Copies of this chain bind each other. A is one copy, B any other.
Amino acid sequence: QELSSANLRRAAVPTSSTSLPAVVRDLAMSTNKGGGGGKKEVKKETKLGMAYKKDDNFGEWYSEVVVNSEMIEYYDISGCYILRPWAMEIWELLKEFFDAEIKKLKLKPYYFPLFVTENVLQKEKDHIEGFAPEVAWVTKSGKSDLEAPIAIRPTSETVMYPYFSKWIRSHRDLPLKCNQWCNVVRWEFSNPTPFIRSREFLWQEGHTVFATKEEADEEVLQILELYRRIYEEFLAVPVSKGRKSEMEKFAGGLYTTSVEAFIPNTGRGIQGATSHCLGQNFAKMFDITFENEKGERSMVWQNSWAYTTRSIGVMVMTHGDDKGLVLPPKVAPIQVIVIPVPFKDADTTGIKGACESAVYTLNQAGIRADLDARENYSPGWKYSQWEMKGVPLRIEIGPKDLANKQVRIVRRDNGTKVDIPSTDLVEQVRVLLDGFQANLLETAKAKRDACIVIISTWDEFIAALNDKKLILAPWCDEEEVEKDVKARTKGELGAAKTLCTPFDQPDLPSGTVCFASGKPAQKWSFWGRSY
């Protein structure tokens, strides 16, 4: 049986693991035409598997899965990565959702320059302090030195706000709502990781201006809810909404909210997206004022918010397994891959026709289905490749299926197989895709929840930290205490810090004390190591 032999092959590990992506690619793209299962083919198929296991060597596993699934190609500048179609198509699907949602909120598309002068970049002192070490500077064009170095935007507050000051005069010019989809550059030196931490990345950045704090506060949460939906509804990644501590908030802002995910394998929290209320700090520095309805000069309230290609990496880390990627149907570029299984002497024309018909029927119903009709690969090899790429459903059609007017559907997440009549194809595929999407989120949520530990003392905190838990702790909410916790937990794996104070707060009985300072606790906060 094709499937079980494919399963066997998957378990095999290549002999050389040092340059695995290249090995896999070389073989996957081999010109060897040996079709029917000779020695060469077996060798080829043996090498398609993953060299690393998620639970054994998470870092190597992650690099391998993003490369082998053809999402990422490493680039010859450290910290820069090539996003291949398998990643970009996911980015486009997320963008389609998010852009339509923010257009409902009257956001308008802008494009501001990549460059910003030193003078303007430095206007908001806390802001530049936060970003200065990571700024890339252009100092030359052709062979000439520029008169003054020019910065590449690490974010666009300082690029945009001088012009907001120019455009906003009256309360009638408010709210002003800008969004741009673009690249930004943060020349970080620590641990570049595809999607998660790269020197250039893609994002949307929304920048909005209001007459009142109330409007700004409201929008912060509207946007945060969209970010939650991106993670939970699309990427099937459970997140906690919450507020960042003073230490962790956006440089120059008033307060920062975020959706926080957690990677059980590394025991690290990861910031999924942030929605900041900037308050009036930038407005003061950039002189953004308006004449209100009473004819008085008032200062505006501002927000900025962003999510990035990091979201794709969080999804990979959350759902991937030892066979490769697992994609949630809502963002899978291909939701259903159809593979003909032509045994010797079978009606290959009939099988091919049934496959094409299945793809056509699914496409007509708005389901992203594709046919793998390559003749130089065995069905088993194709199974492995599409599993590597994380396609949610595989449809196999062989002679028996043809005779019975049925198709076999195999789920990527749990491997279950079901034979369904061709007449029920669209309906059943829809049910399966919906179930797949829900199952991914539930499974991830169960795993994440199993990592949450509620602690009350320093010793429990350290034990939980060593145990890679997501720690919910009563805290006095003092910056000095967070600094102190950081200092006391410094080490090879990085210090612990607050991830967020979740909006969803457990009871805090009076008399509860801070786990770190012993002072009265003000709130429950998530603590842990983070990306």
Contacts and interface: CB of A to CB of B under 8 A. Distances in A.
Contacts of A132: 142
Given A89-B109, A137-B139, A183-B183, A29 B170 contact: yes
Majority-rule SS of A interface residues: mixed
A92 B109 CA distance: 9
A114 B200 contact: yes
A133 B142 contact: yes
Interface in A52-76: 73, 75-76
A77 B200 contact: no
A185 interface: yes
Interface in A167-214: 167-173, 182-183, 185, 187, 200, 202
Interface stretch (A78-86, A347-355, A389-397, A521-529): A78-86
A283 B115 CA distance: 33
Given A76-B162, A88-B110, A30 B140 contact: no
A113 interface: yes
Contacts of A162: 76
Contacts of A109: 85, 88-89, 91-92
Contacts of A343: none
Contact of A141 (B168, B187, B376): B187
A162 to B, nearest CB: 7
Given A89-B109, A170-B29, A141 B134 contact: yes
B135 A29 contact: no
A31 B113 CA distance: 29
A141 B137 contact: yes
A329 to B, nearest CB: 20
A440 interface: no
Nearest to A75: B113
B185 A112 contact: no
A506 interface: no
For the complex of A and B, 10 pairs with smallest distance between CB atoms: A141-B187, A85-B108, A80-B113, A31-B170, A88-B109, A83-B111, A137-B140, A133-B142, A31-B291, A29-B169
Contact of A30 (B83, B110, B170): B170
A150 interface: yes
A120 B91 CA distance: 28
Contact of A112 (B82, B89, B172, B173): B82
A443 interface: no
Nearest to A27: B169
A169 B83 contact: no
A112 B84 CA distance: 8
A163 interface: yes
A295 interface: yes
Given A76-B117, A76-B120, 12 more contacts: A29-B169, A30-B169, A77-B113, A77-B115, A80-B114, A80-B115, A83-B110, A84-B110, A89-B108, A134-B141, A138-B138, A183-B183
- Give the number of times this chain occurs in the complex, counting copies: 2
Given A108-B85, A110-B82, A150-B77, A139 B140 contact: yes
A200 B141 CA distance: 13
A208 to B, nearest CB: 14
A152 B80 CA distance: 13
B26 A185 contact: no
B172 A31 contact: yes
Contacts of A30: 169-170
A88 B170 CA distance: 24
27 contacts: A25-B167, A26-B169, A29-B168, A29-B169, A29-B170, A29-B173, A31-B170, A31-B291, A31-B295, A73-B163, A73-B166, A75-B112, A75-B113, A77-B113, A77-B117, A82-B111, A82-B163, A83-B110, A88-B109, A88-B110, A89-B108, A114-B185, A133-B142, A134-B142, A139-B139, A140-B149, A141-B187
B139 A31 contact: no
A371 to B, nearest CB: 14
A86 to B, nearest CB: 9
A136 interface: yes
Contacts of A183: 114, 182-183
A31 to B, nearest CB: 4
B142 A187 contact: yes
A134 B112 CA distance: 21
Interface in A395-447: none
Contacts of A117: 76-77
A76 B120 CA distance: 9
A82 B141 contact: no
Contacts of A171: 31
